[in-house]
Amino acid sequence: MAKIITYQIPFWNYTPENCGQYLNYEMLKNENGSLASYVNNERCIEWRDNYVFAEILELTTWSRGRSSATFTLSDDQGHKYDCFMHSAFEIFIDKRFNAGLITARWTFEKCGQNYGIKLAK
């Protein structure tokens, strides 16, 4: 059984009602349901309890922020999840890639002020 960390995880929930004019809703609504890797506007966030999920994710890109480097993984519905490089190292060691796809059980983690996914143990 995977150990679940008890903090809550932020997911994007863009609507004109909860985000108002603060954000360009039409540009950002395709992010709905994706993991919010950093929270700077609580109005557009839906907080969920941490959980374990089984999913096939595709490695789509990588990025570098001020305090972290991540790989971006996407599911078949277009939801995006960041994976910190230190957590992605386990994926490489386990040789879980199959044509760019990773089949695994995942859970969420917080590193500093950022959120990402990692392999569930």
Q: What is the pLDDT of residues 28-78, one digit of tens each?
A: 455 777 888 877 767 778 888 888 999 999 999 988 877 778 999 999 988
The 10s digit of each residue's pLDDT in 78-88 is 889 999 998 98
Q: What is the pTM of this model?
A: 0.76
What is residue 94's predicted lDDT score, i.e. its pLDDT?
77
Q: Give Cα separations from 100 to 15, 87, 121 (angstroms).
A: 32, 17, 21
CB 112 within 8 A of CB 67: yes
How is the chain split into domains, by residue range?
8-49, 53-119
The CATH number of 53-119 is: 2.40.50
